Amino acid sequence: MRKWINKAAAGFLAAMILSGTVFAAFELHAGAAKSDYDDDDFTIDAKLSLSASAESFDITVEVTNDGPDFEGTVRVIPDNGGSWTCAYDTVISLSKGSTKQFVVSIPISSLDIYYNRYGQTGTLFVILLDQNGNKVTTEKYSRFFQGYQEKVPVGILSDKYDELDYFSLYGGSVFVINNNYPIELMELSKNTLTDELEKLDYLIIDQYDTSQLSEDAIAAIEEWTNHGGMLIFGTGAYAYDVFGGFDSQFLQTECLGIYMAGTGDFVTEQGRRRDMYSETGSYSPYDYYGVSIDMYLNNIYETDTAILDGLSQYDGYYHYGQGYGNSLSSGSGSITYLYYALSDPDVVNASAAYVAENIFSMAAEQTKLDNATFHNTDESGIRYVYNIKSALGIIDMEKANINYDMLNILIAIYVILIGPVVYLVLRYYKKRELYWVAVPALALLFVGIVSFAGKGFRIADTTVCSVTFVNTGNNGESGSVLYAYSADHDDWLISLADECAYAGPLQKDYGWSSDPTEYYFRVVEDLSGTSVGIRPSTSFETTMFQCRAADPVKGEILAEDIEVTSRSVKGHVTNETGYDFSCMLIYDNRYFAVVEGVEDGEEINLKNAEMLEHGDSSSIDDIFWMTAERNYEDNKSLAAQMAALYVGLRQAVDYQGTVILGVVPNYDRVTEGNYKETSYGVFYYIQ
């Protein structure tokens, strides 16, 4: 027996020596491969731009090879503010003396953008790897993302546009809503106004007769303001002109007259008058408004002043800021009135940029815009909130009806065999000394059986759950979120089926990492397409990805006169997407309703439709808890459909209006390959 043990030990030692020799040879080979290239063989350049959709950073990478022919990978890794990073790998082939240029698109919502843009690092790493994964060279670009900064667009409608260039702040920045932004000025006319309006944050109207604008243009300005636009009127001697196209109900004020500083006359719409007191109860516009503080601070002395009814009457105190004018809320936006013309020479010659900065800030203070979303670039594109992960988990569990009976039987057999049965058998054959060999052998055997059987239990394969959402009212723009995991402890990748505009992690704050070059996520671009994956630390490690489709999806939802209240649902909806909806969700502000079964081509009258759900939600997340979560125990299929609708709704909630969404089970797969994917499609339309 002892001799047999000695032979086993000798064999084990020999195996260790052999494996060490092989490992050393492999290391020597790797070292030799790595030494084929030098750092100065390659020149790498990287430049930053924003995609046309403003959803991704497009990094143009250019690599020039002055050394031997090269095949390998260019790895782009953005520092993510201490969170786990993502490696964007592009497989390339470069002959000696050649240059290759390509674009790496990184979803902005997957990055800690404020850390990158304004923090101490904002670093980008570009790493060249050979075919064996050895690092050839690394380029580090410090504060790379600070080269891009969102601008606040300001439109100016004025016959004196050139006199208002000080609103550009001469390259400076102004704090608006949530951050400091540079200003981008845009000259408007009555012909370009309506086309450019939706791009603007601010609209300045000064020394311009708005009565020449069409009714549609006036209505567009009013709607834009109520939806969050910041409208600024310069008045002074031109007050009646700039107000001419608007009614007093929208303006919330009217001009009582204009105090002409040069003559002391008080001019009304009907003509000149010297008795200002009978109109305003005051002998001086400065007593009436307290604007003298503005004159004192900014040397504005000889300026014609508009007297606006009901705004900022003098109450015995001077109010800092009210000297510039007054700002009122209007819907989600604001209307700001300056008591003088912004193009007035006396204003332009004063501390103009300082005045402009205060006007921008004053207008922003009266809006109801969300601090978290105003030009918060990481909110653009595909959105993540905490309950999306819970929703995807519900979808995953819909078809994960694992039958544990067989596993329980195998475990019971193993326990019985590993104990008394093996011992009794070995004792019968008088081989009890082999017990220490039989136990691990049986353990290995049963691990193999369970692993093989686990393939039928959805344990061993890479598993994916996906929701693809299609905005039928926006040229078929579509994107997907994926929830994936694998039983494999090693690195894994899953191939995406279609061409992507971009792909990356869904969240920006996974885990913690002290070394940004040690990535956790990975996006690979090669001749076969795009793949995404991770470097897990344990088996069954779940993660989430996002991708935006490069090509639009056809189909539409037609809706007419939709209205949802706590008591009723009205309107007509027609499904023209080419897919049957198993369920349809209608969301209108805080109210929602769910209808079952709307076939392709079918038109339904919501008034007569039978509702699966109909309720009042104080938040979007309430819909998840009231539909998906509530049905989870009793009806997993319905819960999964509601979860998919919630994910789609989360992509549409920033839009104004009523949202109609239809869900399609077993929709087109997002992945391509031997993965177990549960896929849902959600088509939505905003009325």
Summarised one tens digit per residue, pLDDT across range 553-562 is 999 999 998 8
User: What mean pLDDT do residues 3-29 have?
Assistant: 44
Q: Which of 28-37, 489-498, 557-566 has the lowest mean pLDDT?
A: 28-37
Same domain, 138 and 169: no
CA atoms within 13 Å, Cβ hemisphere of 37: 28
Same domain, 192 and 125: no
Residue 38 confidence class, pLDDT cut points 50, 70, 90: confident
**Torsions phi, psi for 76 (to 5 deg):** -110, 125
Contacts of residue 540, Cβ cutoff 8 Å, sequence gap at least 6:
485, 486, 487
**Res 454 pLDDT > 70:** no
222, 193 contact by CB (below 8 A): no
- Centre a 10 Å sphere on the Cβ of residue 405 and count the other Cβ atoms it contains: 8
Same domain, 358 and 414: no
Query: What is the pairing mode between strands 202-206 and 152-157?
Result: parallel
Which run of H or of E encompasses 249?
helix 248-251
Q: List, edge to edge, every strand of the sheet that includes 56-65.
A: 42-50, 56-65, 99-107
**Res 118 pLDDT > 60:** no
- Of the residues 147, 162, 193, the one at which a domain ends: 147
261, 312 contact by CB (below 8 A): no
SS3 430: coil
Which of 93, 44, 34 is CA-nearest to residue 69?
93
**Res 648 pLDDT > 50:** yes
Same domain, 238 and 348: yes
Residue 321 confidence class, pLDDT cut points 50, 70, 90: very low
Same domain, 188 and 316: yes
Does the residue 587 lie in any domain?
no
Per-residue pLDDT of 46-64, as tens digits, reads 999 888 888 899 999 999 9
Same domain, 309 and 348: yes
Query: Quick one: tokens of 87?
Result: 């490696």
Contacts of residue 648, Cβ cutoff 8 Å, sequence gap at least 6:
467, 469, 661, 663, 682, 683, 684
61, 74 contact by CB (below 8 A): yes
Same domain, 346 and 265: yes
Who has greater pLDDT, 521 or 5?
521
**Res 378 pLDDT > 60:** no
| 496: DSSP letter | B
Does the residue 592 lie in any domain?
no
Measured distance CA(558)–CA(590) in Å, rounded: 22
Same domain, 175 and 321: yes
Query: Quick one: tokens of 360?
Result: 């921008």
Same domain, 167 and 202: yes
User: What mean pLDDT do residues 680-685 have?
Assistant: 96
CATH number at residue 260: 3.40.50
Which pLDDT value is given to residue 566? 83
Residue 519 confidence class, pLDDT cut points 50, 70, 90: very high
User: What mean pLDDT do residues 267-284 have?
Assistant: 62
| 85: DSSP letter | P
Give the range of the structural domain holding residue 87, as residue numbers without chain letter.
39-147
Residue 658 confidence class, pLDDT cut points 50, 70, 90: confident
261, 305 contact by CB (below 8 A): yes
Does the residue 28 lie in any domain?
no
Q: Residue 375 to residues 342, 364, 379, 653: CA-CA distances in angstroms?
A: 26, 13, 8, 16
- Of the residues 101, 125, 147, the one at which a domain ends: 147
Packed helices 386-398 and 636-652: angle between N→C axes, nearest 10 degrees? 150
Q: Which of 153-162, 214-223, 272-281, 458-467 has the lowest mean pLDDT?
A: 272-281
Does the residue 381 lie in any domain?
no
Measured distance CA(107)–CA(546) in Å, rounded: 8
Which pLDDT value is given to residue 256? 82
Same domain, 139 and 188: no
SS3 446: helix
Same domain, 134 and 193: no
How many separate domains does the chain show? Answer: 3
- Which stretches does DSSP call E strand in 131-265? 135-141, 152-157, 173-176, 179-187, 202-206, 230-234, 255-259
- Percentages helix, strand, coil for the chain, rounded to the nearest 5? 30, 30, 35
Per-residue pLDDT of 605-622, as tens digits, reads 999 888 898 988 888 888
Radius of gyration of the chain, Cα coordinates, nearest whole angstrom: 34
Which of 400, 657, 368 is CA-nearest to residue 540?
400
Which pLDDT value is given to residue 613? 87
Does the residue 573 lie in any domain?
no
Does the residue 324 lie in any domain?
yes
**Res 22 pLDDT > 60:** no
Which of 402, 453, 387 is CA-nearest to residue 636?
402
**Res 642 pLDDT > 80:** yes
532: left (phi over 0), alpha (psi -120 to 50) or beta: beta
Same domain, 343 and 447: no
- Of the residues 107, 130, 147, the one at which a domain ends: 147
Does the residue 326 lie in any domain?
yes
Does the residue 392 lie in any domain?
no
Who has greater pLDDT, 442 or 31?
442
Residue 536 confidence class, pLDDT cut points 50, 70, 90: very high
153: left (phi over 0), alpha (psi -120 to 50) or beta: beta
**Res 219 pLDDT > 60:** yes
CATH number at residue 81: 2.60.40.10
